[in-house]
Amino acid sequence: MSEQFPLRISAMFRSGISGYVKNLFPLTAAAAVTIAVFGVFRFWAQVASDDGKTFQSIVFDLVGLVLAGTVSLPWFAYALDAARGKQIDLAAPWRSGAQFAAQLVCAIFFWAAFMLGLRYLAGIPSILAALFYGFYGYVVADRAAKGGLRALGTSVRLGTKRRVALFAILALFAIFNLLAAIPLGYGVSALTVVPTLALLTVTASITLVGGACLYDALTERLGEQ
């Protein structure tokens, strides 16, 4: 990720787009389920916030993020298969309850840290959580570690000595996903929220496949050390 860094970024995006187009249905379906789970709790959180119930709003948001992070396991698994050019086995992620348990543990730690960062210390803990633990979904889906805590530890090791490059990639992915919010520029209504969510299933899936390519590259380098 030094001299070839721009090339690798473009390669990740190309792989993300190609992998998504070739596996449109499974990736879109997994994305829709994940976003829908969070969306339900985000709605309740907004209602609680409008009623002045700040604590309840925070709880709804955290629960929504943790549950969405847990049910996103198939999305990560499908993204890995897409990045590797494999035929996606829709049922594969559902065959092991242990994987979902590990994903739940990771989601609790990750999203608790992320939400803490959004509310305090100028968002720095959120950035650190993404940089250190952002690969946990791939690790669990890839069965590269047993248990949620070990998956988090593996995620940390994958980014060792590459935090600056990972921050740049994270920023680019975030900007790319912000494109989905363009309809909201015309106001918040059903006519803008629905296309925004539809676009997000696309941009987020492309990002997830691109991230899977990065995960494989980092895993290969970690194995060589």
For the segment 146-157, what is each residue's pLDDT rounded down to a tens digit? Answer: 999 999 999 999
User: Is residue 222 pLDDT above 90, yes or no?
Assistant: no
Tell me the pLDDT tens digit for each residue of 66-80. Answer: 999 999 999 999 999
Tell me the pLDDT tens digit for each residue of 85-135. Answer: 999 999 999 988 899 999 999 999 999 999 988 877 778 889 999 999 999
pTM: 0.92
pLDDT at 3: 44
pLDDT at 223: 67
User: Is residue 200 pLDDT above 80, yes or no?
Assistant: yes
pLDDT class of 2 with cuts at 50, 70, 90: very low
The answer to whether 65 and 38 have CB atoms below 8 angstroms apart is: yes
pLDDT class of 220 with cuts at 50, 70, 90: confident
pLDDT at 211: 95
For 76, list phi and psi in degrees, rounded to 5: -65, -40
pLDDT at 118: 82
Quickly list H helices, 84-189.
Answer: 97-119, 124-133, 136-141, 148-158, 163-178
What is the C-alpha separation between 79 and 66, in angstroms, rounded?
Answer: 20
The answer to whether 41 and 63 have CB atoms below 8 angstroms apart is: yes
For 122, list phi and psi in degrees, rounded to 5: 60, 25
pLDDT at 193: 87
Tell me the pLDDT tens digit for each residue of 7-62. Answer: 478 888 999 999 999 999 999 999 999 999 999 999 999 999 999 999 999 999 99
